[in-house]
Amino acid sequence: MRDVRDVSKAVLQNKGHPLAIMQSTLDTLYREESGRILATLIRLLGDFDLAEDAMHDAFAVALERWAVDGVPSNPRAWLVSTGRFKAIDALRRRARFDASQDKIADELESSRPATDSDDGHLEDDRLRLIFTCCHPALPPEARTALTLREVCGLTTEEIARAFLISAAALAQRIVRAKARIREAHLPYQVPSQEELPERLNGVLQVIYLVFNEGYYASSGASLTRSDLSGEAIRLGRLLLELLPEPEVTGLLALMLLQESRRAARTTATGELILLEHQDRSLWNRGQIVEGVALVERALRSRRFGPYTLQAAIAAVHSEAADAASTDWPQIVALYNLLAQAEPSPVVELNRAVAVAMRDGPEAGLTLIDSLFERGALADYHLAHAARADLCRRLGRDTDARDSYERALSLARQEPERRFLEKRLQDLAEKK
């Protein structure tokens, strides 16, 4: 695929050149708006790959024209309109070899183009796109991969690392998903009110996966990616407007409450700070107030599920002045409910950590060891890190060292790796 960032590299080395100045403006616009622009072009053109090429063509044209004419009053609408015309031109060129492309170009040319007045209603194009990417006709793994690629803009390599598969295999997964959408004529639209409830869970899963990749990046030099978590929250708000169901409310509450801790989760140099050691004065009180109100609304409905229960746990944390004053019995009780609503080894692990805070590290360690004995979470670095911490608190330094080393061998995120290395260094200095 072409990329606007590959355009005019030689010219752009001159920082004072008008193209270089405009490139900086476009880089910012690309980061902030390319997802929305792409979603709108997919709606207008009906083809993922054609829309991607059209968007990059539009940014390339903008680089040249805006440096001379100035930035238009509505850059997004300009880029959408230019991309549409570029796609029509591309189809006309292809028509020399495939007559069917000429018919498609005619249809696109006769359709109403995007205008400045469309900008408000175009906001829901990404919601349409996520429902298309999460269509039940696609395999579950394809839904997530396609959404991360097309809605969130992650690279194939980033998604492949998150899925623990090769980039080539992930790319084929995305290609097959696009082909399935095209061949089955899956509609690019939000489902009807009758269809929405059964389609909702898959969409919630993908939105939360996107949030998690932003809140707790699966790999790389940074612990977080605020662009992704912010986009997931925006999508959550749009979905709540469309379908004010308790679990939609609960998911938005969960994301806001977790996001509220962002500023306290790392040092100025990017080092990891655990929840118990965070400066809670840095937590975003506005997000906490909004999140708590949302979770209370969802709980009152008595039709809530796993996202609302997780949000309730986050709300209990948000209301405590420090780790010692946290209502751990209530958190354990909520984890008990969550384990019934959505049983999983990860939920059991989190419950074990809460039990350790309520009843002491020995009680939590017994639960974690039982998970490992059942063969669960053997390759999950956070499980080994949790076990290491409980062993350290019990003075079992050899066991703690073994678990920290296992966690380090599995961790792919640099702040986490540095944290684990520091814990191992502290243990070594105790000898």
Is it the case that residue 404 has pLDDT exceeding 60? Answer: yes
What would the mean pLDDT of 41-58 be, rounded to a whole number?
A: 90
Is it the case that residue 7 has pLDDT exceeding 80? Answer: no
Q: What is the pLDDT of residue 15?
A: 46
* Percentage of the residues of the chain whose pLDDT score is greater than 70: 85
* Percentage of the residues of the chain whose pLDDT score is greater than 90: 48
Q: What is the pLDDT of residue 223?
A: 56
User: C-alpha dihedral over 36, 37, 40, 44, to 10 degrees?
Assistant: -170
| Distance (Å, whole) CA 127 – CA 36 | 10
Q: What is the pLDDT of residue 356?
A: 97
| Distance (Å, whole) CA 274 – CA 268 | 14
| Distance (Å, whole) CA 120 – CA 128 | 15
Q: What is the DSSP letter of 263?
A: G
**What distance lies between CA 148 and its chain's CA centroid?**
7
Half-sphere exposure of 359 (CA within 13 A, CB side): 14
Q: Considering the chain, what is the average pLDDT of its residues?
A: 85
Q: How far is CA 231 from CA 42, 153, 275, 398, in A?
A: 18, 11, 24, 43
Q: What is the pLDDT of residue 273?
A: 92
pLDDT digits (tens, 9 = 90+) for 113-149: 554 444 444 457 888 888 899 998 999 889 888 988 8
Is it the case that residue 305 has pLDDT exceeding 70? Answer: yes
* Geometric angle at alpha carbon 282, from 278 and 285, rounded to 5°: 120
Burial degree of 169 (CB within 10 A; 0-12, 13-18, 19+): exposed
User: Quick count: other Cβ atoms within 10 Å of Cβ 58?
Assistant: 23
| Distance (Å, whole) CA 309 – CA 250 | 8
Q: What is the DSSP letter of 192?
A: P
CB 61 within 8 A of CB 82: yes
Is it the case that residue 236 has pLDDT exceeding 60? Answer: yes
Residue-range domain boundaries for the chain: 4-119, 327-431
Half-sphere exposure of 15 (CA within 13 A, CB side): 0
pLDDT band at 372 (very low <50, low <70, confident <90, very high): very high
Fold of the domain built from segment(s) 327-431: 1.25.40
Q: How far is CA 175 from CA 23, 178, 289, 402, in A?
A: 30, 5, 42, 42
127-131, 367-371, 424-428 — which is least confidently predicted? 127-131
- Residue found under tokens 């622009």: 37
| Distance (Å, whole) CA 279 – CA 317 | 13
What would the mean pLDDT of 202-227 be, rounded to a whole number?
A: 74
Residues 6+ apart with CB under 8 A from 257: 287, 288, 291, 292, 295, 311, 314, 315, 317, 318
| Distance (Å, whole) CA 431 – CA 426 | 9
Is it the case that residue 156 has pLDDT exceeding 80? Answer: yes
Most confident option among 94-98, 238-242, 352-356, 408-412? 352-356
| Distance (Å, whole) CA 87 – CA 181 | 19
The pair of three-digit structure tokens given for residue 371, joined into one six-digit string: 């998970």
203-207, 239-243, 276-280, 404-408 — which is least confidently predicted? 239-243
pLDDT band at 188 (very low <50, low <70, confident <90, very high): confident
